[in-house]
Structures are given as C-alpha cells and as structure tokens.
Structure 1
Amino acid sequence: MNLVSTPRTLEPVTALHELSAVAQRDLLQRGDVSPTELVAHYLERIDRPADRYGAFTTVQADAALARAALVEASANPAAPLWGMPLADKDLVRRAGVPTGFGSRAFAGFVPDESDPLADDLDAAGAVSVGKTATPEFGLTSSAQSLASPPVRHPLDPSLDPGGSSGGAAVAVAAGLLPFAPGSDGGGSIRIPAAACGLVGIKPSRGRVPEGSGLAMLGGLPVAGAIGRDVADAALLLDGMIAPRGLPARHPLALRAPGDDGPFLAAAMRASGRFQVGVLRDTPWDEGFDVRVSPEAEAALAAAIDALDAMGQGIEELAPAPEPGYPDAFRTLWQVGAASVPLEPAQEGALEPLTRWLRGVGRTRTGPELAAALFELTAFERRTIARFAPFDAVLSPAVALTPRPIGWYDADDGEENFAQQVRYTPFTSFVNVAGLPAVTVPTSRTGAGLPMGVQLIGRPGGEAAILSLATMLQRRLRVAPPAPPA
C-alpha cells in the first residue's frame, strides 16, 4: 500500500514513508493502516531502488510479511512498537536469518537462536525486515565492509555515511525504514545519524536491558535508536527499554539512575530552562591533530544561538587536558578486536585493518589492559564531575563533513585510527563515561549536506537532552533528507 487512506475514503493523503514514525504508529493504532500494509509498503520501497544505497545486507520479505500477519492477528496495539517495521543491525543474531557481523569470515552463517535484543524488539511488537550493513564487527566509524556492497550517503553516493550503524542510518534517511536500532561503542549511532541529518540516541550505560554495555569490555557499546526526528528515535528507544509496556527489567546488578521515561513524552514535551555547557576541547587533543572544520563550527554556533534565543543558560567549559586517554582507549579498541572469537580458518578472511587490530591486541599484556581500564575509569569520574554543573553539555557531533568512500586507509592501522580520531573526536569519550547523548542536525553546508551537534546528559539524564534536542529541532527546522519518490 503506497498511500495513506482510511476505511472511509480512498482519497490519498500522503506517502506513508513521508510521515514520522510516531504518525505511522498512530495510524496503526487507529486501524487506518494495518501492520501488513505498512510492512509491505516499506518492502516495496526497499525493492524499488534495488537498495542502491547498500543499506541492507539481508532482506527477508516473506518472513517479514508472515511476522506482520502474526502481529496483526495478535491485536495487541498496546505493545509500544506494534506493527512497526525495522531492521536489525548485522551485529545482532536473529534465528534463521543470515548474520555476517559485517565480515567475510562469517559468510553463510545462520544462527539457531536470537540475541535477547532481537527478542525484545519482537516482544515490543516490531517487525524486522532484515539486516542493516555494518563494517567488520562494527569496529570503525566508516560504514564500509568487504563483505557487502558499498554503503552510500543518500544525498551524495560518493560519500561514506559513517558507521558503524551506517546501514541503519541510510535506511532511515532514504525512507526505507521509519526508524532503526543500532549500537554505539564509540559513536556508532551518533556518527552516521549526524552525517545523514538524522537524530541518533546513545542511552546511558545500563539503560537498555539487552544492550546495556555492562557485560562488555570497558562498558563501551550500548544499544540505541536512529530516527528522522527526536520523537521517532525516542519512540524506538522506549520500545527497546520496556518492550512489554512494563517497567524495564535489568538482568544485571547495575542500571542507569535517573528518570525512567517514557522518553517519547520527554521528547514531545520540549519545555523548561536548562543550563548548557559548551565543549570545544576533546580528550584526543594531546596526542592528535584535531581540527574542527568551519562546517562543524557553524553547526555548533547555530545551536548556541538558538539555545540563547530560547533563554537557556549557556556557559563555555574550560579545557581539561587528558594525556592518558588516547593510548588507553586505543588499547581497549585493539584488545576488543583480538577478543572476537574466531576459528583459525576464519582469520584469513578478515580485512587488513581487523587483522592489524587483532595482531596488536594480542601483544597487549594483562597489566597494560588493567592500566588502560584504570585510566578510563578515572577519566569517567573526572568527566562526570566536570559536567555535573550542567543539565546538558553541547559539542559538535563530528569534526568534519562526511568523508568520501575510500578515505580511510585500510592498510595502515595507525593512520586509520588517526583518521577516525580526526573525523569524530567528540563521541568515544561519552561511551567511556557511560553518559547519554543525542545528535540533532542544526545546519547545512554549502553543498547541502547536514551538520549537527551532540547534547550529552548526566548519568540517566536522557529526558533533559531529548527535550533540548526537540527544542533545537523545532527552532532551527533543519529537516532530514527528503526520501526519494
């Protein structure tokens, strides 16, 4: 079904994919559109361009339609994501669906069991249509993998949309999904969301029960959401937290303090006066040549002016050098890659960067890893104390405009790492500190590419930054890319 219509009229109103995810949810709950019709609409859109964007690694059309019919028969529109189509990032196992983790080493792998996050999305009433593309094991801020076709920016096919949740962001920006889940271990949701003119939410460590980060090395990667606006991303995040409409369960001992949502209400409320700190330095500055481009500076200036005009409190943060951060984070990155369980026969199928990471990671000693973890834990405490006077801290989302496909040097691990730092120096430390963050577009370049900012909250402070992000969105009116017809 290509056009929204009600049982009372056949007059077309607008294309379904041009509506917000919240509006599509409302249509489903009113019975104006069925889950099967909505899923079929998106499957047709995915098929029409033959996914020329490279957003998907797998599309399961028959399984998605069968799942939509099952959801429809359940008649449980109270489920937070009832009937809403989405796709799993290709780092998440779903039983019976090819799962490659962005790697040629797992070509043809089909898991027998689903990861708990996939089960929670099902429990929330969502319908998965397949898998979105990711770089090998989600290790980089690029979207590219040798295991699948290039992932292309929806506004300029020569550009990399950023990663590692690049396929998810492209699918949303191109109108192939209403929203999409992702994961973020160093900026992997916020980077592609910012590059594509979308909203990306990285929640607090411990916030999402089955994507908490608490069981991961350094507590870095968490599950989060990408949407065309703040409310859409918040709707998906609510479904990931409490899929059955009940208080969130946390299977681990620690959970994020603070407000419990629902975050959609916070995003829609968009009111209040907040104290906002402006962050211009990064913990990489001591070891790398970090330069913020004029385009990123313009995006930050637009946000500052808008917040000031709304009467929000604005204060510049003094620089706080962190000379121990770069090597500590790099150690975790390398050891994390070395920890991916692989059979000896799979090693030869790995990409050059991953082989380099694993090789260096295996040389890191136990005391070196312990020292890195100690340094990053101390950094977390210092950062939370530094940000404590503020309801939110504002920074550029990324330092540069979207990079061309092929810009990253895949054969030189040290240079690749430096390139990632230069592109996105404002994101990884938020994961280290376990804080929530949201990116929102605030300006466009002369070439029409979106640029945005990042709002970082207190531990468990998602509601404040979502409200602020909506205020910016409404005042600046920087629309996401228009989906192609």
Structure 2
Amino acid sequence: PYPAPAPPTTDGYLSRAERAQPGRLRVGRYARPVLTDVAVEPECMAGYERASELLEELGHEVVEFDVGVGQEFVSVFETVWAVLAHSHPVWTDAEPLLTPLTRWWRARGAAVSGPELLAAMQNATRLARQVAARHAEVDVVLTPTLSQLPRPVGWFTDGGDPAEDYERQKRFTPFTALYNITGHPALSLPLHWTDGVDGPVLPVGVQLVGPRGGDALLLELGAQLEAAAPWCDRRPPTG
C-alpha cells in the first residue's frame, strides 16, 4: 500500500507540463538492474548517457545513485503479483481463454497462503519506505527503461513456456518493477534512437522516477526534455 496525492486544485498537471520549467533539479542515476542479473545492451546505455548529458545541458545536477535495494524484493513482487492475478474471478470455462502466462500466475497465486501474503505485504511496505528514504536524497531518479532493444512481436512467448516468458520479461525490463511495488510515479521518454546500421531505427527509452506525490514535477521535467529533444514526428518501422 502507498499513498496517492490529491489532485491539485490549482497549478495542475496540464499547466505544469505546459510550463516545462521545473527549476534546477538534483538527478540521481543508476543503471544496475535490480530485478535480475542482466547486462544492459550498449544502445540502452547510450540512451542513458545521452539523457544524463541532456539533463546537465538543461542545468540540472546529475549524480551517481544507489537505490539501496537488490533482488530481495523479487520474491515480494512475485508473491503480490501472483495473488493479484489469482484474486480476479474468472469463470471456469473462460480459463482457457487466458494467456498461458496469466494462467501460470493464477496457479502460483492459488498456492500462496494467507500468512505468506501478509508477510509479502509487510515486506513490500518496508521496501517502499526504504526506497522512499533513499530517493529523498535527490529530486528525480534516472535509469534506462529497458536493458534490451525492443523485441519482435511474439519473442516473449515463442518458447511456449510461461516461466520462460516471465524470465524474458525480467531480463527485458529489470528497472520498472521496483516502482510498481513502491508506488513512485515514473515515466519513460524515447530520448535516444538507434542509427539503423545493424537493424531498424528504434526508439530507446529512459525512465524518470519522481518522489511520492511528485507527479506534476515529473510531468514538468518530461515536458522540458521533450522540448529539448522532440520525438513526436518520429516513427519506428511497423514491419
């Protein structure tokens, strides 16, 4: 559980995004995956470095940052995720319509006991507080969005094994799941594009994570970055 900010009554999200002047921010950055051990591909690191440079060009302070959490949060995430999947009622005759991965998660959730769920929720709260305390050292946190370039449609499921599907997802996006647990607002911006020499020209994202309740600040910073490096007229290939 985590708090959600009340909607602003004045100076709301739209006006903050339109203003795009967040002031000088202290931005902590890290590129060590926390969901699983995986090497971050060079293009993803290039996007991360380019975003760091752009933030500095805009006047922000960029510092190295340790989020203070390792893979101990994975079991918490998996327990909560599995129970959430299982908790939604589905008619028996509709179960086969679910994807293999969803059915796999539901089966895992059915095997979780009440005390195990309670322990996972308590650990989730503890981890959220721990991460929030560490994030308080900076205004915003920067990470790569993905550790790998976008994969072809069907890449996650082509092995037919839902457990392998999940492992591929963990390796693909090892930076975002933590903030599903902690409740920090986050956004992804395609500030880098591949050069197309070794494949199609593809967008490469970076993730910006704000403080709890800092949604407006995050939108304002995102708008500032988009104005400095616009992408609205760029399209990746569809075939």
Q: TM-score range by the shorter chain?
A: 0.7 to 0.9
How much does 1:255 deviate? Answer: 3.9
Structure 1 residue aligned with 2:30, among 279, 282, 307?
279
Partner of 1:408: 156
How much does 1:420 deviate? Answer: 0.8
Tell me the TM-score normalized by structure 2. Answer: 0.87
How much does 1:404 deviate? Answer: 1.0
Q: What code does the residue aligned with 2:27 have?
A: V
Is contact 2:30–2:64 with CA below 8 Å preserved after alignment?
yes
1:232-278, Cα deviation, whole Å (9 max, x unpaired)? xxxxxxxxxxxxxxxxxxxxxx6416955421111121221111111
Partner of 1:440: 189
Q: Distance in 1 between matches of 2:102 and 2:78?
A: 14
Q: What code does the residue aligned with 2:76 have?
A: A
Matches within 5 A, 1:338-353: 338-353=86-101
Partner of 2:229: 476
Is contact 1:258–1:461 with CA below 8 Å preserved after alignment?
no
**CA RMSD, aligned part only?**
2.2
Is contact 1:259–1:461 with CA below 8 Å preserved after alignment?
no
Instruction: Single out whichever of 340-349 and 455-464 deviates more from structure 2.
Output: 340-349
Q: Distance in 1 between matches of 2:17 and 2:61?
A: 19
Tell me the TM-score normalized by structure 1. Answer: 0.45
Relative to total residues, which structure has the larger helix share, 1 or 2? 2
Tell me the SS of whatever aligns to 1:440: strand
2:75 aligned with 1:322:
no
Structure 1 residue aligned with 2:60, among 306, 312, 329?
312
Tell me the SS of whatever aligns to 2:228: helix
How much does 1:369 deviate? Answer: 1.1
Structure 1 residue aligned with 2:172, among 402, 423, 435?
423
Is contact 1:328–1:372 with CA below 8 Å preserved after alignment?
yes
Q: Cα gap change, 1:482/1:325 in structure 2, threshold over 3 Å: closer, same or farther?
A: closer
Q: Cα gap change, 1:480/1:343 in structure 2, threshold over 3 Å: closer, same or farther?
A: same
How much does 1:318 deviate? Answer: 2.7
Structure 2 residue aligned with 1:388, among 121, 133, 136?
136
Is contact 2:101–2:163 with CA below 8 Å preserved after alignment?
no
Partner of 2:112: 364
Is contact 2:67–2:134 with CA below 8 Å preserved after alignment?
no
Q: Distance in 1 between matches of 2:235 and 2:119?
A: 47
Tell me the SS of whatever aligns to 2:28: strand
1:85-130, Cα deviation, whole Å (9 max, x unpaired)? xxxxxxxxxxxxxxxxxxxxxxxxxxxxxxxxxxxxxxxxxxxxxx
- Stretches of structure 1 that go unaligned for 5 or more consecutive residues are 1-217, 220-253
2:212 aligned with 1:459:
yes
Which stretches of structure 1, 4 residues or longer, exceed 6 Å deviation after superposition?
Answer: none
Q: Distance in 1 between matches of 2:99 and 2:213?
A: 37
Tell me the SS of whatever aligns to 2:184: coil
Which structure has the larger Rg over C-alpha atoms? 1
1:11-59, Cα deviation, whole Å (9 max, x unpaired)? xxxxxxxxxxxxxxxxxxxxxxxxxxxxxxxxxxxxxxxxxxxxxxxxx
Equivalenced residue count is: 230
- Stretches of structure 2 that go unaligned for 5 or more consecutive residues are none
How much does 1:482 deviate? Answer: 4.7
